[in-house]
Amino acid sequence: MFHLYLPIAGNSVNVLLIFGLGGLVGILSGIFGVGGGFLMTPLLIMIGIPPTIAAASDSNQIVGASTSGTLAHYKMGNVDFKMGILLLIGGVAGGTLGVQVIKVLRQMGNADFLIKITYVLMLGFVGSYMFIESLQTLRKKEVPTAIPQKESKYAQLIGSLPWQTDFIKSGVRLSVLMPLVLGTFVGILAAIMGVGGGFIMVPVMVYLLRMPMHVVVGTSLFQILFTCVDVTIMQSYSNHTVDFILALILLLGSTLGAQFGAKISRKLKGDQLKILLASLVLLVMVKMLFDLLLTPHIMLALKGGH
């Protein structure tokens, strides 16, 4: 009962389980503006979906969730389209470049090792920094005496770049080069790590582009939508790895979850959001570390996946 057969994955799944999983990841995506692939792909592999199909079908699902989430955030005025489009252009360029970089790395050997270690270290660094920073701001708010911040070296540097323009929704004035270059950087990393990039993109927008947290979430979702449309079509076309039945059950859950996530997100303050996301990032890092340290049950694995 409640089972459906997945023709591309070649396995059957419990519909309620997959729907629930979609809902959970949709909520996370609506709150934090991440795609949720970090959670979904390993869980799908665990219930017997081949890794390549899990990753590709998940990106199809994210298309639905991020459409729903972007709309919900747009209505709250949380999507900076100008910034999103610039980041997207950078991201596409970076992604293409990243695929080439990974080829070179693989030829050098031991690339997987370097990638995993870099990813764990980066998650650890970004997570800890966000956690400490938002904790300090949360505490500071109790003391009303705000210390006027001095212009940092970083602010001076980005202020001196050419083609400055206003990003109204984000309330910042920046050079067009900033989102383009940072988008490329995240695109390269995402391609190398084999992940969607939400975990890297969100902190980059918060700290390097200095956007307000709520706008970051909406804009990140807007951007993820396009990235995943691209991935879904490419994977369907060249690898036949998108299982539409799987994606459909997932996205029925996640599109609904994203709506609730966006509502939860609105109720939280920027710093509360940041500290929660930081905890999530740290949790993912700890999980990855455990995977690296614990002796695997089986010493062989199917190819593909994260």
Partner 1 sequence: MIRNRIWIPIIILVASFMWYPQLAGSTESFITKHEPNLIAIGAFFNGTQLTVSGKVAAENEVVVIVKGKQEELTLKKKGKALGLLWMNLGSVHFKNVPNLYLLYSSKGITELGASESRTWEQLGIGFEFLKKQMEMEAPQAEKNDLAQEFLKLKQSQKLYASHPGEISFGQKSGTEKSFKAAVWIPPQIPLGEYQVQVMEIHNGIIVGNSMDQLKVEEQGIPSMISSLAFNHSLFYGFLAVLIAVAAGLVMDFFFGTGKGGGAH
Kindly list the residues in this chain that would bind partner 1 in the complex (CB under 8 A). 3-8, 10-12, 48, 60-61, 63-72, 75-77, 110, 112-113, 116-117, 229, 232-238, 240, 242, 244-245, 247-248, 251-252, 255-256, 258-260, 263, 266, 291-303
CB of 200 to partner 1, least distance (A): 21
CB of 157 to partner 1, least distance (A): 31
Q: Which helix (H) or strand (E) holds 129?
A: helix 111-140
Nearer to partner 1, 146 or 299 (CB): 299
Nearest to 181 by CA among 302, 87, 74, 107: 87
CB of 129 to partner 1, least distance (A): 24
Phi, psi (degrees; rounded to nearest 5) at 167: -110, 100
Nearer to partner 1, 185 or 243 (CB): 243
Supply 302's token pair.
């199917």
Nearer to partner 1, 177 or 233 (CB): 233
Contact (Cβ atoms closer than 8 angstroms) between residue 166 and residue 72: no
Q: Which helix (H) or strand (E) holds 11?
A: strand 11-14
Report d(CA 276, CA 107) in Å as an integer. Answer: 39
Nearer to partner 1, 22 or 179 (CB): 22
Nearer to partner 1, 143 or 294 (CB): 294
CB of 212 to partner 1, least distance (A): 11
CB of 131 to partner 1, least distance (A): 24
CB of 49 to partner 1, least distance (A): 10
Residue 251 carries which side chain, given as an amino acid letter? L
Report d(CA 302, CA 269) in Å as an integer. Answer: 42
Nearest to 206 by CA among 218, 189, 191, 192: 218
Nearer to partner 1, 111 or 177 (CB): 111
Contact (Cβ atoms closer than 8 angstroms) between residue 17 and residue 4: no
Distances (CA, A) of 228 to 34, 35, 92: 12, 9, 11
